[in-house]
Structure formats: structure tokens, C-alpha cells
Chains A and B, each alone.
Chain A
Amino acid sequence: MIERTPVLDAVTHAVLISGLLLLLMPLWIVFVAASHDFQTVNQVPMPLWPGNHLLENLSLAWERGNFDRVMLNSLIVAVGVTVGKIVIAALSAFSIVYFSYRLRMVIFWMIFITLMLPLEVRIVPTYAVAADALRPFQATLDVLGIPLDLPEWNLLNTYSGLILPLIATATGTFLYRQFFLTVPDELTEAAKMDGAGPIRFFLEVLMPLSKTNMAALATIMFVWSWNQYLWPLLVVTDHQNFATATMQLQKIVPGPAFGEPPIWNVAMAANLIVLAPPVLVTILLQRWFVRGLISTDK
């Protein structure tokens, strides 16, 4: 239904704008707080217009929060998780949609069920596996009575430990599956007639066709993995070398790194820094993101 009444238009816009203001207000306060010096920010009430200490606060936050290192860590983890998720999702969906084998639906539903088991639910067993990645195999061997001792493979305090447990993704598999189902069968058959094998078809036909899906998935997954907090906190004890940006934020207000009383202006500047990469990724990919989700561009 499309209404074209001026009054309704005005009301609709009023609702939209107030919603937008409501959403942007906290961000604005973060920005304003990050741009004042220590005294101004602790006034009651806090000013609502930005001051002129933004760059100073940013550089202070960057330096004191060890952001050289943690931003790099976060970037490695987020990019690793995003790429890994896309590869795994595309491959598993390819297998489920294009190959017919007996356990196909069973496997699809098993993947689907993991949607109900996010990391937070299975965090203890996942931690146990991360502490010794070969332990499930060792347990299997023990049950089967095979006297073989596997070495311990510890993933704690490594990038692999940060990345691998976050990679498996039902969402991505499901998104790709839905996309592959919309690819006409005749295209697959044409590729078969042209002599392309499954790998060629996957790389040269399906992958280029799913570019927009990939962008959508990448955006969601980058933001999601950048914002991961619980898992890095658990798996990383070597905070000097492996802390991620979100972990570092936790220490800023108030904490050992910055001390009492809380230095809100620097803390908010640190917030702005950590906020920037996901915002940039979203802005850069949003054109494809929207196309990928509505998925009409084929």
C-alpha cells in the first residue's frame, strides 16, 4: 500500500527522525566526550557540543591502550574469521546443494542445528578443545581401545585459537544454500556440456555469481567477529601479544591501565578508534550488502 497524504508523510518522517535521533544520541555523546579535556568532561551536566581536544585524546588513547598491537590482532582475527567463514559456508553449501549423497539432508540439518548452539552455549567444551585440539581424537582412540598417544596441540594464545572456533557458521551455509538453489539447473547443465568439472564450475561460475552474497556475508561476519568479546577474553591470557581491541576497551574504564578516577574523554576516544573499522567496512560494502540480501541481481 502506498499512501500519498501530506499529513501522514509528515507524521512518518517525524517518527523516522525521532528514531534516528534516539539511535544516534549515544554515539554523539561518545564523540562529544572524546573531544573534551578531562575537566570539561567531568562537569555536570556534560556539554553537548564538541570541544577541540579530539586528536589529542585519540593519540593518547592509541598510545596508552597499546592499539598498535591490539588493532592489528583484531584485524587479523576479524579478517581470518570472515574469510574462513565464507570459504567454509560456500563449500559446505556447494556440497549440500550440488552433490547427492545419502547423508546430505542429515548433514544439512546438523549444520542448521548449530544455529541453536552458539559459542556461548558450548563455551566450556570448545575451550577444552582449544586447549588441546587433538583431544576429541584421543578420546575416540581411547574408546576404541587403540593404544596410540597423540601429542597435545594447544591453541590457547594463538591466532588459530582465536579464529578457528568462530569459523563454523550455519548462517553462512544457509545463505549460500539459498543462493545456490536460485541458480537455474540449466546453468549447471550447460557447464557440464561445456566440459567443466565441479571445481571449475564452483570457481568460475558460482563464485562470480555470488559476489553480492559474499559481500553481504563478509559485512555481517566482519562486524560480528570484530565485536567478539567473550571468546578472546577466555582464550587469551597473554594480553601483551594477543589481546583484541574489544578486550582492551574493557580495561580502560576504570581499570589498571588508566586508573582512578575514570578518564572518560580518553576512554571514549578509544571507543571511537575501535568503532571505526566495522563502520568503514559496512560503508564500503553496504551497496553490495543490500543487493546480496535482496538477491535479485543475477
Chain B
Amino acid sequence: MAEIAIRNVRKTYGKLQVVHGVDLAIGAGEFVVILGPSGCGKSTLLRMIAGLEAITAGEIAIGGEVVNKREPRERGCAMVFQNYALYPHMTVAENIGYALKVAGLAKAERTARVAAVAASIGLTDFLDRKPGQLSGGQRQRVAMGRAMIREPKVFLYDEPLSNLDARLRVAMRVEIRKLHQRLGTTTLFVTHDQVEAMTLADRIVVMNAGKVEQVGTPQEVYGRPESLFVAGFIGTPGLNLLPGTLDPAAGVVHLEGGRRLAYDRQRWAGAPAGRVLAGFRAEVARLVRPGQGLDASYEFAEELGASRLLHGSLGGTVVVVSVADGRMLQPGETFGIEVAPSEVHLFDAETGRRLPGEARPSSRQSVPVLEAV
């Protein structure tokens, strides 16, 4: 178990900068998920911690020791790769025990430790097989066993679940979480799947275009997005965003097309007037009769079983509302949307950041649970 400190870390390939000065402190035993779209630099950051990529500038310390110049094997990290990266010519036992063999451990001790690790992840019956004879989930477990056996200070997962089918992914997610509870090892987990991030993380680091957008618990990231990017990326679907002009005197946002949306004036007491984007979650919007809220024109619906997502157009902007009842609408039909003022988020239209002047809520109201995939 070790804490990780990332100080102003940058990565450039020639002239192309892919990581722009990341600062991050990860506590010992924490489970941190780095979340972002592909190409945002999250894997590069992870690989710099592992020692597989050189650090262009800045510092990474593991357990208080700066590791910039250390070889991967001296950093005490173990990594699970997206494509498992098992040695195809070795049996499961040899794959798991290879690090110990390289370290020069005696065969008897190696066998005993491999057996113990295999038993803990349910691979005892497969020790003599080659990776080619295993299913995707089993290969993933071998990769985890190979990481576990070294008793590392830090576990690094690089999108480990993206090659699995949906059901297996949920099962492996649970296994990874349990493994972390059992071993308590500091864990960094890179993914582009926000459901994975929400369900696994103690804290989520949202990255975009080589920068950290927001760091926070899953509730914070979902309930109080710091930027338009986080607002759109977190949650299924992302935050609805309506362009308009903030009128602090009236406590409303004048939307384009003459409609008004009331926000919590006390909470945003310090918010300056100007161009904003007003956001609300699909889950908190209520469906009302036309004319009683914001009128939108219905387009189509996504059926999710427990609820439906109604897609509509509000003055040219797409809005999505989650409804539980089964009333069917006709395309083109108008429906009203009502949003409680306390549920309205405000973002600066210029900078894309959350509007300043907001009083920090003392305790967030309960956050709707995300549906599992």
C-alpha cells in the first residue's frame, strides 16, 4: 500500500502535447478511477506511473519516493492490460509465476504462491492450460493473478474490462472491487466507461484533452459537475444544457426563444449576469402539460424497461427527460418540462466552467442511483 503523488506531470511526443500538467494526490489504499474519452491522455498518465512511458516534465512519487528515473520493475506497480497480455506459450501457472521466476525465487516457493493466488481467484483447475484455451473472463483473471502475486504497492488497470461482454464485465467489476476490499492495495483504474467509474471508484478523476477536469467522489462528480465536459460525460444521459442569459435580479435564466427557467437564487447568490448554459438531469425533470413548463417538441423515446428517455427539441436544443409512466407521445407533439429551481446547474457559456458565486451545499440531497448496464 502506498500513496501516489503526481506533480505537474506533462507528456509530449515531439511537438504534440498529450498530458498538460496533471496534479493529483492519491491516498494509500484508495481506489481511484481515471475517466475520460479515448485520446484524453488517461492511459498515458497510467503508463507514466507504471514506467512504460518516460515523463517529459514533472514528478511522480510512489510511497514518497520520486520514481521518474526508476525502471518499471523497481516501482512496485503491477499492471493489468486491456488485451490481458498473457504469454501465449506459457501455462496459466507459468504466466502467474513468471515475475517470481524472474526474481529468482525457488521453484517450491513459486509453486506454493501460484497455488495460493490461483485458489483466491478460482483458477486452480486451469493451472496447466495455455491462455489460448481460456475464455475471456478466465484470461482476465489470469492477468489479475499475475499482478497479485507480486504483492505490489500499487495496482494499475488499463481499461481491463473493455474486451469482455456486458454480463462478464459486471461480474469482473464486482471481483475487482472485492479484491480491493480484501487486499486494500492502492488502485488506479483507467476507463472510458462512466458506469464502471461510478460503481468502482472511491474518487473519480475526469480527464479531457490531457487535462484534469474534475476530481471527486462519484456523488460529487455526478451531482456537482465542475465543467460542461463533466456535465455531458457523466450520467446516462448527460446533463441537459440550455443556452440563455442569467438575470440575477429575477432569479431566472432567459432561454432562447423567450422561455424562462427559474434557478435557486440563494444558492447562486454571487452569480454574475451574462451568457450561461443552464443544466438539469433527465432524472429530475418532470413531465407536465404543455404550457405549464418549458415546452418541447417530442421526437422519439428510448425504452429502458424501468423508465423511458423522451428525446425532444426545445428551441432547437435537444433535451432528454426520463419518465416512468407509459404514456405514448406522437412525434411532433408538444410536452411540458418542469424542473425544480434547486436542480438547475449553471455554467459560464464562455469558459465552460461551473458558474462562480455558488454557495457550497452543506450536504447534497440524495443522488439518484444510476441504472446498471
Q: State the A residues within 8 Å of B (CB).
A: 184, 186-187, 189-196, 200, 205, 208-209, 298
Contact = CB atoms under 8 A, between A and B. Distances in A.
Given A186-B82, A186-B85, A205-B87, A193 B77 contact: yes
B85 A192 contact: no
25 contacts: A186-B83, A186-B85, A187-B87, A189-B50, A189-B72, A189-B81, A190-B79, A190-B86, A192-B51, A192-B72, A192-B73, A193-B52, A193-B73, A193-B99, A194-B73, A194-B98, A194-B99, A194-B146, A195-B72, A195-B102, A196-B102, A200-B102, A205-B87, A209-B88, A298-B88
A201 to B, nearest CB: 10
Contacts of B86: 190
Interface in B69-106: 71-73, 77-79, 81-83, 85-89, 98-99, 102-103
Mostly helix, strand, loop or mixed at chain A's interface?
Answer: helix
A84 to B, nearest CB: 25
Interface residues of B, number: 23
Interface string B126-162: 0000000000000000000010001000000000000
Given A200-B102, A209-B89, A189 B52 contact: yes
Interface string B149-179: 0100000000000000000000000000000
B82 to A, nearest CB: 7
Contact of A190 (B51, B71, B77, B87): B87
Given A189-B52, A209-B89, A298-B88, A194 B81 contact: no
Q: Which 4 A-B pairs have the closest CB atoms?
A: A195-B73, A186-B85, A190-B85, A194-B99
A195 B99 contact: yes
Contacts of A298: 88
Interface in B18-64: 50-52
A187 B85 contact: yes
A87 to B, nearest CB: 20
Given A186-B85, A187-B87, A208-B89, A193 B79 contact: yes
Contacts of A186: 81-83, 85
A200 B73 CA distance: 14
A189 B78 CA distance: 11
Contacts of A191: 87, 98
Nearest to A210: B89
Contact of B83 (A184, A200, A205): A184
Contacts, number: 55
Contacts of B83: 184, 186
Contacts of B87: 187, 190-191, 205
Contacts of B82: 186
Given A192-B72, A194-B73, 19 more contacts: A186-B81, A186-B83, A187-B87, A189-B79, A189-B81, A189-B85, A190-B81, A190-B85, A191-B98, A192-B71, A192-B73, A193-B52, A193-B77, A194-B98, A194-B150, A195-B72, A195-B102, A196-B98, A209-B88
Contacts of B88: 209, 298
Contacts of A189: 50, 52, 72, 79, 81, 85
Contacts of B72: 189, 192-193, 195
Contacts of A192: 51-52, 71-73
Contacts of B102: 194-196, 200
Nearest to A187: B85
B202 to A, nearest CB: 24
B166 to A, nearest CB: 23
* Max chain B C-beta neighbours (<10 A), residue from A184, A194, A208: A194
A193 B98 contact: no
B103 A193 contact: no
Contacts of A184: 83, 85
A194 B85 CA distance: 12
Contacts of B51: 192
A207 B89 CA distance: 10
Nearest to B72: A192
Nearest to B156: A193
A233 B273 CA distance: 96
A209 B86 CA distance: 12
Contacts of A195: 72-73, 99, 102-103
B51 to A, nearest CB: 8
* Max chain B C-beta neighbours (<10 A), residue from A186, A196, A209: A186
B132 to A, nearest CB: 9
Nearest to A201: B102
A233 B15 CA distance: 58
Contacts of B73: 192-195
Nearest to A205: B87
A187 B82 CA distance: 11
Nearest to B83: A186
B78 A193 contact: yes
A108 B99 CA distance: 33
B289 to A, nearest CB: 57
A272 B229 CA distance: 77
A186 B146 CA distance: 14
A298 B132 CA distance: 9
A125 to B, nearest CB: 42
B201 to A, nearest CB: 23
A204 B196 CA distance: 36
* Max chain B C-beta neighbours (<10 A), residue from A186, A190, A193, A208: A193
A207 to B, nearest CB: 9
Contacts of B146: 190, 194
A193 B79 CA distance: 7
Nearest to A209: B89
B96 to A, nearest CB: 10
A195 to B, nearest CB: 3
